[in-house]
Amino acid sequence: MAVDVDPPLTPELVERTLGYHRFPRLGLSETTVRQAAASASTYAQFVGNLYSEYARLHGKPLAGEKTPDYVRYLRLLHTLFPWARTVHIIRDGRDTALSILEWARGDKGPGRFALWQEDPIAVAALWWRW
């Protein structure tokens, strides 16, 4: 079964976006989200509208995303957003491990692994390597 790369925007997709546990971090009101949806016919247009509004609210010409896991989806992301640019930053593994020690916890990231309690540095290094 073929999957449409850029599906039509549906009320269900809008609700899933609003209900996503990390979405409130953007600070966009429900009204703003619904306005972005009203002027979009596809999911990519909707997401583009949301990021454009986020940039406008912060007085910036552009907005972006810095989630490292998205590196695994670059082909899809560039298909959905062909105008997007990718900035690939390679961090020093030691710096990354120190950062992981600050945010990982028992239910998040490498903190979920049993070895985390015994040797978080080793787990952080393995996580970075992965």
Give yes or no: residues 106 and 61 share one domain: no
The boundaries of the domain holding residue 43 are 11-80
The CA distance from 44 to 79, in Å, is 10
- Number of domains the chain is built from: 2
Provide the pLDDT for residue 89: 84
> Per the domain annotation, does 1 fall within a domain?
no
Give yes or no: residues 28 and 63 share one domain: yes
Give yes or no: residues 66 and 105 share one domain: no
Give yes or no: residues 18 and 59 share one domain: yes
CA distances from 43 to 49, 61, 68, 71 (A): 10, 21, 22, 20
The CA distance from 30 to 107, in Å, is 29
Q: pLDDT tens digits, residue range 33-63?
A: 999 999 999 999 999 999 999 999 999 999 9
The CA distance from 26 to 54, in Å, is 7
Does pTM surpass 0.95?
A: no
> Per the domain annotation, does 4 fall within a domain?
no
Q: pLDDT tens digits, residue range 65-97?
A: 888 788 889 999 999 999 888 888 888 888 888
